[in-house]
């Protein structure tokens, strides 16, 4: 599945990134942003679990190097570009280079938006150069490394994988409630997200997306369940460890929302060819969109302000 693209999977990624663009654009679209916010991050983890391949002959070092090239190299490249741009613009050209000019490098190294949960008194905000969304790349990297270890220990057996995943989930819950800070590289969140990777592996092993697609009545029932649990659990933000009322409930919300997103994507693939091709293209290019959209938003804002002043 890694070598051959699956269109409906790319469409599901496109839905996820579109919700990111809407939310980060400051648009409030009611149900779209609320319910979309339930799955727009989990769907990427679930899809990563679905496309994850484990080979007995592959060593840990080989796997880590492969994922580092795929995730960490782009992370470093995009972040250094943003740092260089703002260092030149805000400090070098203004002649105000100081120790504070290099603080964003610490944010790149820590790879977390802030030190404590949002709105905490005296919080430290690390990612100040429009690079906050890039936390996902390091977080996914950590999740995949942990997932590889679990797959190796389970010998690829799904039941054993779920049992060991339960231990990882417990650890993530303990870190969430006992650790006063948000850990670097989203370690606490990455451990939590391993459950979404495990769900993805389960979905693909039992072909559950296709099987559910053939039962529209069950899809409708699951949609009602998703809506109800989402409303009860409340708003979430995985990047800053905000899971609503319950971390366990959000596993159901995020997992179910991701599955329903895939069902819609599969429907579009089969019944809306032109639209599905466009969404599929977007889904194949989510990384640059994720990493640079805030920068593009800022440039667009400057351009609009300039045009407004001269017109």
Residue 310: what pLDDT? 86
Summarised one tens digit per residue, pLDDT across range 139-163 is 999 999 999 999 999 999 999 999 9
Whether 188 and 175 have beta carbons less than 8 Å apart is answered as yes
User: Residue 3: what pLDDT?
Assistant: 54
Cβ-based neighbour number of residue 117 at 10 Å: 15
Tens-place pLDDT, residues 274-310:
999 999 999 999 999 999 999 999 999 999 988 888 8
For 157, list phi and psi in degrees, rounded to 5: -85, 125
Per-residue CA distances from 83 to 20, 90, 127, 130, 139 (Å): 22, 10, 10, 9, 20
Q: Determine the average pLDDT of the residues in 108-136.
A: 94
The pLDDT score that the predictor gives to residue 308 is 85
Cβ-proximal residues to 22 (8 Å cutoff; 6+ apart), any chain: 29, 32, 33, 36
Average pLDDT over residues 242-254: 96
3-state secondary structure the chain: CCCCCCHHHHHHHHHHHHHHHHHHCCCCCCHHHHHHCCCCCHHHHHHHHHHCCCCCCCCHHHHHHHHHHHHHHHHHHHHHHHHHHHHHHHHHCCCCCCHHHHHHHHHHHHCCCECCCCCCCCCCECCCCCCHHHHHHHHHHHHHHHHHHHHHHHCCCHHHHHHHHHHHHHHHHHHHHHCCCCCHHHHHHHHHHHHHHHHHHHHHHCCHHHHHHCCHHHHHHHHHHHHHHHHHHCCCEHHHCECCCCHHHHHHHHHHHHHHHHHHHHHHHHHCHHHHHHHHHHHCCHHHHHHHHHHHHHHHHHHHHHHHHHC
Average pLDDT over residues 123-152: 97
When pLDDT is averaged across residues 190-213 and rounded to a whole number, the result is 97
CB 123 within 8 A of CB 102: no
Give 103: exposed, middle or buried? Use CB within 10 Å, 0-12, 13-18, 19+: middle
What per-residue confidence (pLDDT) applies to 5?
Answer: 87
Per-residue model confidence as pLDDT tens digits over 63-98: 999 999 999 999 999 999 999 999 999 999 989 999
Query: pLDDT tens-digit profile of 33-70?
Result: 999 999 999 999 999 999 998 888 999 999 999 999 99
Helix 187-205 × helix 135-154 angle, to 10°: 60
Q: How many CB atoms lie within 10 A of CB 178?
A: 7
Task: Look up the pTM and report it.
Answer: 0.95
pLDDT at 248 over 80: yes
> Residue 107: pLDDT above 60?
yes
Measuring CA to CA, how many Å separate 19 from each of 33, 38, 128, 279? 7, 10, 22, 13
């Amino acid at each position: 599945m890694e070598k051959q693209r699956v269109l409906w999977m790319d469409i599901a990624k496109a839905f996820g990134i579109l919700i990111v663009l809407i939310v980060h654009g400051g648009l409030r679209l009611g149900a779209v942003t609320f319910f979309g916010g339930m799955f727009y991050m989990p769907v990427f983890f679930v899809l990563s679990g679905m496309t994850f391949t484990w080979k007995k002959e592959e060593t840990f070092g080989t796997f880590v190097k492969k994922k580092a090239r795929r995730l960490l190299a782009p992370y470093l490249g995009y972040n250094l570009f943003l740092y260089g741009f703002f260092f030149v613009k805000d400090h070098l050209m203004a002649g105000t280079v100081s120790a504070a000019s290099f603080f964003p490098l610490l944010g790149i190294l820590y790879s977390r938006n802030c030190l404590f949960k949002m709105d905490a008194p005296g919080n430290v905000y690390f990612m100040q150069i429009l690079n906050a969304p890039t936390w996902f790349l390091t977080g996914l990297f950590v999740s995949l490394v942990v997932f590889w270890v679990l797959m190796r220990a389970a010998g690829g057996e799904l039941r054993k994988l779920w049992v060991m995943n339960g231990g990882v989930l417990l650890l993530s819950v303990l870190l969430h409630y006992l650790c006063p800070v948000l850990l670097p590289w989203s370690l606490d969140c990455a451990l939590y997200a391993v459950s979404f990777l495990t769900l993805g592996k389960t979905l693909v092993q039992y072909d559950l997306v296709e099987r559910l697609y053939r039962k529209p009545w069950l899809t409708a029932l699951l949609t009602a369940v998703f809506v109800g649990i989402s409303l009860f659990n409340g708003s979430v933000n995985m990047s800053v460890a905000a899971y609503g009322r319950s971390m366990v409930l959000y596993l159901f919300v995020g997992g179910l929302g991701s599955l329903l997103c895939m069902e819609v994507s599969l429907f579009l693939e089969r019944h809306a060819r032109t639209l599905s091709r466009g969404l599929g293209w977007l889904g194949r290019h989510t990384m640059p969109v994720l990493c640079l959209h805030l920068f593009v938003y800022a440039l667009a804002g400057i351009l609009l302000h300039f045009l407004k002043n001269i017109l």
